[in-house]
Amino acid sequence: MTIVEFSNSLVSLEANMMKFALSLTADRTRAEDLVQDTYMKAITYKDKFVDYTNLKAWVFTIMKNTFINNYRR
């Protein structure tokens, strides 16, 4: 998967990511920050993603772990 395909796939998940982030944070601003952090980590660690596996599950795991590590403090 090229970086363009990967990025397009991430963008297609934006609405779902925002809903999940809102369910975790219960605050729109924090949810937007969480989505942004998730995008950055997903792009940074793209090489760890196995092509043709479940991108949504991988991204949501990144988001959940980011929330646990940063936002629950």
- Write the pLDDT tens digit of every residue in 21-66: 999 999 999 999 999 999 999 999 999 999 889 999 999 999 999 9
Give, as one character, the DSSP assignment of residue 48: G
Residue 1 is predicted with a pLDDT of: 82
Q: What is the pTM of this model?
A: 0.89
CA dihedral 37, 43, 48, 50 (to 10 degrees): 110
**Largest Cα span, the chain:** 36
Of the candidate CATH numbers 2.40.30.10, 3.30.2010.10, 1.10.1740.10, 3.40.1000.10, the domain formed by 3-71 belongs to 1.10.1740.10
Among 20, 10, 9, 6, CA closest to 67: 20
Can you say how many angstroms the Cα of residue 73 is from the centroid of all Cα atoms in its chain? 19
